[in-house]
Amino acid sequence: MEGPADPEHDPTAAYALEPDYVDGLTARLVATTGRTVALMSPLDGAPLAHVPQSSADDVAEAFTRARRAQAVWSRTPLDERSAMLLRLHDLVLDRQDEICDLIVLESGKARKHAYDEVLHIALTARYYARTAHRHLDTERKMGVVPGLTRVEVNHVPKGVVGIISPWNYPFTMALCDGIPALLAGNAVVTKPDAQTMLTALLGARLLAEAGFPQDLWQVVAGPGRELGTPIIERADYICFTGSTATGKLIAAQCAERLIGCSLELGGKNPLLVLRDADLERAAEGAVRASFSNAGQLCVSMERMFVADQVYDRFVERFVARTQAMTLGATLDWDNDMGSLISQDQLDTVVAHVEDAVAKGARVLVGGKARPDLGPFFFEPTILEGVTPDMTCFGTETFGPVVSLYRFHDEADAVARANDGDYGLNASIYSQDGARAREIARHVKCGTVNVNEAFGATFASIDSPMGGMRESGMGRRQGSEGIHRYTESQSVATQRLIRFGPMLGMSDETYAKVMTANLRLMKKLGRA
């Protein structure tokens, strides 16, 4: 495979990338400043590549190219657009080794968590390709005068969508929000996070190989503080995934221009283990819920509320499974958890754990950095006795740290799960599915998984996904995930009669006739 080197074949090369491979990816950037930024692998801290940087002028150029391409693309038949998504589906599956290698090298995550990204993009591409007509075809609506008023609703593309994506799921977040935007007839200008630019650029290359016009998907590189505003000033819609603080700033800027935005932001997600839960299943799910991608997942769990009746037995199983996890900085499948992505992320995790321990929390397992494995490794950590005065009680850690809490009354557990300002994802374990689904209705989160950590909602592309409260606004996936990129346009065609007095009728007589017609339609059961 062209691309990431295999260190087993060249032990001196560490995790080096072939220069020609890097050049082929970075050639897709709109970047003319002459400046580059070194990209380091969290696996070993060694340089992977130097990425060219974009300016505000490059952002303007990217939008110019995208608008030109979008004018043609919006007239491309929907079936042709869908066929390109199906080709992307196959390319992603065919090239999964290359994709996973690059994800692991840039993000430091375990390979099995990198594969989750391959799976998600393949699912997203196939879903929107197969449901394109359901979402985008012109719809007939009820007219005010049966038989004489024909009403149709068109779903018109917004134009050029700006996407600002994060580092934690670099392939998924680089593409999953843009796929429905393209299908709906839009162009995209995207700014991926600086730490995972190459994975995002590989996604752009796969789109081109699938047949999408190259100018339709523009990529710029640089700090959000420099390029975020130029993107928002030119976009017709903004899609952002990241912190709540940044999301609020973006929402304010979008409001100034009266453009829409969708924001998936932070979370302090709760998992509930009810008294009738299958404890083996709950413990297995708790490990994935807490430690997938080293906890650097917007929908991962940082708070677990466990019924008194099963608390000790659940904790025993959860701790044992956590202790059995394998950590490593390799490209193979043997690791259960990889590295944090950066020193900043490691510093946050260390600070949260040290603060909790200093104030009386107990570490049941983990609690230490592991520089012997790599510069940013931290052990999967379970805390008990976390109290409101501790930073990790209500502040998102975004790392492999979870706090355990007992509960006796389920209503109290729900109230504690709803405590705070976030509302992204939750999980409930119970053998009574109907009871768990009823409890879910009272949990203030945009997605709730029953007897699963997060995969059930995350992978069910036909259902919307997003946050309540300070966890965001708008939804990805499903019909909401594509309609956010369209304007609804109503077209009404009137036959024979007009909405005004006819044949010399006075306004007063017209009002009486219309009143009689309204009463008649009510009797006939008309809406």
The answer to whether residues 495 and 150 touch, using CB atoms and an 8 Å cutoff, is: yes
Residue 445 among the catalytic residues: no
371 exposure class (CB count in 10 Å sphere: 0-12, 13-18, 19+)? exposed
- Give the pair of three-digit tokens for residue 423: 């509302």
Distance CA(96)–CA(121), nearest Å, equals 11
* Beta strands at 425-429 and 269-273: parallel, antiparallel or unpaired: parallel
Q: What is the 3-state secondary structure (H, E, C) of 365-388?
A: ECCCECCCCCCCCECCEEEECCCC
Sheet holding 160-164, edge to edge: 217-219, 187-191, 160-164, 237-241, 260-264, 472-473
Measured over the CA atoms of residue 208, residue 212, residue 215 and residue 219, the dihedral's sign is negative
- Give the pair of three-digit tokens for residue 37: 């930024």
Distance CA(427)–CA(300), nearest Å, equals 10
Number of CB atoms found within 10 A of residue 313's CB: 14
Tell the residue number behind the tokens 């994935």, with chain if given. 288
The answer to whether residues 197 and 39 touch, using CB atoms and an 8 Å cutoff, is: yes
Distance CA(191)–CA(298), nearest Å, equals 19
- Give the pair of three-digit tokens for residue 406: 């007992």
The answer to whether residues 219 and 30 touch, using CB atoms and an 8 Å cutoff, is: yes
Question: Distances in Å between the alpha carbon of 120 and those of 189, 322, 407?
Answer: 21, 26, 35
**Closest CA relative to residue 467, chosen from 267, 173, 176, 168:** 267
The answer to whether residues 237 and 473 touch, using CB atoms and an 8 Å cutoff, is: no
Number of CB atoms found within 10 A of residue 518's CB: 10
Residue 264 among the catalytic residues: yes
Tell the residue number behind the tokens 């994060």, with chain if given. 166
Question: Could you say which of 100, 106, 176, 264 is catalytic?
Answer: 264
**Closest CA relative to residue 254, chosen from 272, 228, 290, 227:** 228
Backbone angles phi, psi at 525, to 5 degrees: 80, 15
Distance CA(384)–CA(421), nearest Å, equals 22
Q: What are the residues facing 406 on neighbouring strands?
A: 306
Question: Could you say which of 239, 298, 392, 445 is catalytic?
Answer: 298
Tell the residue number behind the tokens 């369209």, with chain if given. 486
- Give the pair of three-digit tokens for residue 150: 């024909």
- Catalytic residue numbers? 264, 298
